[in-house]
Structure 1
Amino acid sequence: MTKTITVHSADQTMAIGEKLAAYLAPQDLILLDGDLGAGKTTFTKGLAKGLGITRPIKSPTFTIIREYQDGRIPLYHMDVYRLEAGGGDDLGLDEYFNGDGVNVVEWSKFVADELPDDYLRIIFRRDDSEGDNVRTLTFEATGHRFEQLIDDIFPEQK
């Protein structure tokens, strides 16, 4: 199942992340894919806010994984761009995916072999023809839970 929405500002991108957070549970996996600067970390900031996380959210580009434990559910924010040449199996991703938190993975194609069967993938596309902050977010649900989840989040688009 796929649903696409358009956002016109960073604030709207964050609001969608915050809205999604209300539906998330431990072991949920959210994949964020798109070009550099497309809004993936901005979205994660909104998601973290929705989980009640108060610490500043920073891109994990150089650390690969950032852990945030101060919300209603832990958030594990991963940027696996630097694993383009491999190495995802050395990170112990299974422990995160089967653990107590919500997992957000940016650049998921670099760890595709490590992913579980159920996840929500969000593809971020810039639309510079419409303005600097316009983004198209395409939600792709894999597994029944996430199909139901995007129906619940976007009932007006049924």
Structure 2
Amino acid sequence: MTKELSFLTNNSDETLALARRYSDIICPGDLIFLDGELGAGKTTFVRGMMRGLGFLGKVKSPSYSLMEQYVLNFTINHFDLYRFKSASEWEGAGFSEFINKTDVNLIEWSEKAMDALPTPDLIIFFTYTDQDGADGRNVRFKSLTSRGEQCIDLLV
């Protein structure tokens, strides 16, 4: 059974605030896919989550590096697969070793490696909304595991 929960954010500050709320919920072992068009707020969300966890350094998009890693009380791996041409690149890069019970993994553009990835706990969808010319987003959380359902229950 899947659960879904949506939020409307009117600007990047509200997206950051929602991500800070979510930072109170994440646990080692969580696998989260971030889905949305370029500029839809995926990396902004990661930045807000990292701030909520107390990380004060620069949080940048891993578009060119493919992965950024942050070590706090647990390790957070932020992947961006936009440049992948096939799922085999995931295995070729050795990224599967990061999917474990001790790290949090956030994957942007997961569809580029879907055949090589395990089922995520959550998919967070970011879509543009037209709110009287405001820079709005619909941020929709969808669970695919019981852990994902627990996250949604805690966000309500």
Name which of 122, 145, 148 aligns with 1:146.
148
| Larger deviation, residues 89-98 vs 103-112 | 89-98
Give, in whole Å, the separation in 2 of the partners of 1:24 and 1:119: 11
CA apart distance, 1:24: 1.1
Which stretches of structure 1, 4 residues or longer, exceed 4 Å deviation after superposition?
A: none
Counterpart secondary structure, 2:83 = helix
Alignment of 1:68-107 (within 5 A): 68-69=70-71, 71-86=72-87, 87-98=89-100, 100-107=102-109
Question: Aligned in 2, Cα 1:94/1:77: closer, same or farther, shift over 3 Å?
Answer: same
CA apart distance, 1:72: 2.4
Counterpart secondary structure, 2:118 = coil
Normalising by the residue count of structure 2, what TM-score does the alignment of the two structures yield?
A: 0.91
Structure 1: gaps spanning 5 or more residues:
none
Give, in whole Å, the separation in 1 of the partners of 2:133 and 2:123: 24
| Larger deviation, residues 42-51 vs 91-100 | 91-100
Alignment of 1:37-76 (within 5 A): 37-69=39-71, 71-76=72-77
Equivalence for 2:115: 113
Give, in whole Å, the separation in 1 of the partners of 2:153 and 2:125: 17
Query: RMSD of aligned C-alpha atoms?
Result: 1.5
Percent identical residues = 35
How many pairs were matched up?
153
Structure 1 residues 115-146: Cα deviation after superposition (integer angstroms, max 9, x where no partner): 22342101100113543420001111011111
Normalising by the residue count of structure 1, what TM-score does the alignment of the two structures yield?
A: 0.89
Give, in whole Å, the separation in 1 of the partners of 2:149 and 2:85: 29
Is the 8 Å Cα contact of residues 52 and 72 (structure 1) preserved in structure 2? no
Give, in whole Å, the separation in 1 of the partners of 2:21 and 2:121: 17
Is the 8 Å Cα contact of residues 90 and 96 (structure 2) preserved in structure 1? no
| Larger deviation, residues 4-13 vs 88-97 | 88-97
Is the 8 Å Cα contact of residues 93 and 114 (structure 1) preserved in structure 2? no
CA apart distance, 1:99: 5.4
